[in-house]
Amino acid sequence: MRTELVQNTSKGRFVIRPAEPGDENKIFISWEQAFNKKIDRETWRWKYHTNPQGCRTMLCLAENGEVAVHYAAQVYKINFGGTEKLALHLTDNFSHPKYRWALGGKTGLFVKTSWAFLKTYLEDIPIESGFELYSSLPKAHFHYGFPGIRHYRLGAKLMYYRRFNPGTLYVKFQGELRAERKKKFTLYRCKAAEPIPAGKIDKLWRKVANKCSPFSVIRDYSFLKWRYFSKPGHDYTLYCLEKRLFGSIAAWLIFTWKAGEDRSLCIVDFLAETDSALKMLLQGLTAFSNAETIECWCSANHPQRHIFAQAGFMQEEEPLGIVPCTRCDQTGVSPDKADEFIWTMGDADLF
């Protein structure tokens, strides 16, 4: 099987291939040209190279070695109907401004690079086999991302993107609705510098895994440790509800204070054994935090979405303009199955 695709254009020869050791500095240079800002290299290495499941990257290189297109994803483990599989979270996909003359339409380099990525790293997708390149890495079952509307429209037209249905739930709590402080909550916080209760986190995941039906990212200790407490330059708090008699965790959530807003926090992730446990945890957060506003994003199909209203959160229009989209690519599985993916903002890289 081929290891690269050669694309000859009127202005030069380009090569599409998987990323190799030594490509990173070239990627950084083009990333900064594409996004017009300096890259945080420490965060980049955390995102792609310290991820327990690794990453997947496809490049399109010009004759002078410059990265014309970068198409990449972080790899997550997912629980799909009781079976562990891999998912690809698409991130940092860009084209170098210098080569955008060669990027448009179905014959463009950006689209062809995306096709090579999808055909090489996914189990099955309706792209001709000529775009599949050799890779020893295991293929993923599912891919998804959280692009803005312009990127989504391009992806929907040319790269097999499709919106999640029913969409995104965005809820907001205002401080004047703050719950009465009650001592019945057995709550505690874990900051990055403190020990994370690994065994309790894993035990809760095992209890709820089958309830996250049909599938979601596996939220075990390994995931939380990497995603939140190993990320450089970010400050997250793990907030837990503990069963008094058994010493086990009934629910947890991760929050972070929003940059530049002293009294506004965002719930990035959450997991609960029961609806009542999540309600108690949310009520504890609203009662004991001094936040004026608390925000949360999650999939509109989340089985515990209704609990936010019971805890005093109000549904509002989604403010970021993200378009969660995906395709479910295993042979014999309808792409519409992807609508049942249960996600939180922890599945994105926006916070």
Dist CA 103 CA 98 (whole Å): 10
d(CA 83, CA 128): 28
Residues 215/235, Cβ–Cβ less than 8 Å: no
Residue type, 255: F
For residue 256, the 8-state DSSP code is: E
CATH class belonging to 168-318: alpha beta
Q: Tell me the three state secondary structure of residue 171.
A: strand
237-242 vs 249-257, strand pairing mode:
antiparallel
Q: What pLDDT does 188 receive?
A: 55
Pick the CATH number of 5-158 from 1.10.10.60, 3.30.2310.20, 3.40.630.30, 3.40.50.300: 3.40.630.30
Q: How does DSSP assign 54-80, residue by residue? A: -EEEEEEE-TTS-EEEEEEEEEEEEEE
pLDDT at 343: 95
Instruction: Please name the amino acid found at residue 290.
Output: N
* 169 in Cβ contact with 302 (< 8 Å): yes
Distance CA 253, CA 223 (A): 14
Angle formed at CA 159 by CA 155 and CA 165, multiple of 5 degrees: 60
Mean pLDDT by 10 residues, the chain (351 residues): 88 92 95 95 95 96 96 95 92 90 74 93 86 94 92 85 92 72 52 68 92 86 93 89 79 88 89 93 86 94 95 94 86 82 93 90
pLDDT digits 0-9 by tens, 57-100: 999 999 999 999 999 999 999 998 888 999 999 999 999 998 87
Domain with CATH 3.40.630.30 in the chain: 5-158, 168-318
- Distance in Å from the first CA to the final CA of the chain: 39
30: alpha, beta or left? (left if phi > 0; alpha if psi -120 to 50) = alpha
Per residue in 281-296, is it b (16+ CB within 10 Å) or e — as a string?
Answer: bbbbbbebbebeebbb
Please give the DSSP secondary-structure letter assigned to residue 316.
-
* Three-class SS state of 251: strand
Residue 93, both tokens: 């996909």
Structural contact between residues 13 and 6, judged by C-beta atoms closer than 8 angstroms: yes
pTM: 0.91
What tens digit of pLDDT does each residue of 296-351 get? Answer: 999 999 999 999 999 999 999 999 999 999 888 777 778 788 899 999 999 998 89
Say how far apart CA 298 and CA 343 lie, in whole Å. Answer: 6
